Amino acid sequence: PNVMIKIPATRAGLPAITEVIGLGVSVNVTLIFSLERYREVMDAYLAGLEKARAAGLDLSTIHSVASFFVSRVDSEIDKRLAKTGTDEALALKGRAALANARLAYEAYEDVFGGARWTALCGSANRQRPLWASTGVKDPAYKDTLYVDELVAPGTVNTMPEATLDATADHGEIRGDTVTGGYAQARADLDAVEKQGISYDEVVRQLEDEGVAKFEAAWGELLDAVAVSLSRKGVDGE
DSSP secondary structure string for all residues of 152-189: -TT-EE---HHHHHHHHHH----S--STT-HHHHHHHH
Residues contacting residue 183 through CB under 8 Å, at least 6 positions apart: none
At residue 207, what is the residue type?
E
Residue 169, number of CB atoms within 10 A of its CB: 9
Rounded to 5 degrees, what are φ and ψ at 73?
-65, -45
User: Is 61 within 8 Å of 148 (Cβ atoms)?
Assistant: no
Count the residues in the chain: 237
At residue 205, what is the residue type?
Q
User: Is 96 within 8 Å of 69 (Cβ atoms)?
Assistant: no
User: Is 82 within 8 Å of 90 (Cβ atoms)?
Assistant: yes
d(CA 232, CA 175): 54
Residue 4 three-state SS = coil
- The question of whether 194 is a catalytic residue gets the answer no
Of 6, 79, 142, 194, which one is the catalytic site residue?
6
Catalytic residues: 6
